[in-house]
Amino acid sequence: MKMRITTVLSTLLLLSVSAWGQMTTEEYIATYKHIAIEEMQNYRIPASITLAQGILESNSGNSALAVEANNHFGIKCHKEWSGDTFYQDDDEKGECFRSYDSPLDSYTDHSYFLQQPRYKPLFQLAIDDYKGWAKGLQKCGYATDKGYANKLIALVELYSLYELDREEIPSW
């Protein structure tokens, strides 16, 4: 319950920041780190990686996809998606992206999305192996950018996001 209250407060902070202009990366981290830690505790995905992906994919919450569709991870519709959609150019013109009611829904769906069999090898890595996770996401085809892993690693190190991976997680 306490974590959900923190999540609500973080969302309110996001709304107040958005009303005044672009969110900085530091504000993005402060707003979403609690959600990333909660997702790490629930799904065993490093909080550092979740936040680095959110920063990179959403331009720290400032991209049209994040602002208009609450999609912080660039997750496309794919054939199994039956929820709301948002269209924008990406690798191809007018691609379909998932749209969410809130950023929290985007974070939760990101964790669910990574449960697909193609990402299974990542869950063999240590929770604090952010470099392995970044390289694994690229190898598994999360993004088409050939520099994706290096960008995630750079963000984790620049903002010391690896410290979030040290939060208590349940034993599996």
Using one digit for the tens of pLDDT, what is the confidence trace for 98-146? 999 999 999 999 999 999 999 999 999 999 999 999 999 999 999 989 9
- For the whole model, what pTM was predicted? 0.85
Instruction: Name the 3-class secondary structure at 76.
Output: strand
DSSP secondary structure letter of residue 77: -
Overall residue count recorded for the chain in this entry: 172
pLDDT in tens, 76-93: 998 889 999 999 998 889
The number of beta carbons lying within 10 Å of the beta carbon of residue 61 is: 23
**b/e for 126-161, b at 16 or more Cβ within 10 A?**
ebebbbbbbbbbbebebbeeeebbebbbebbeebeb
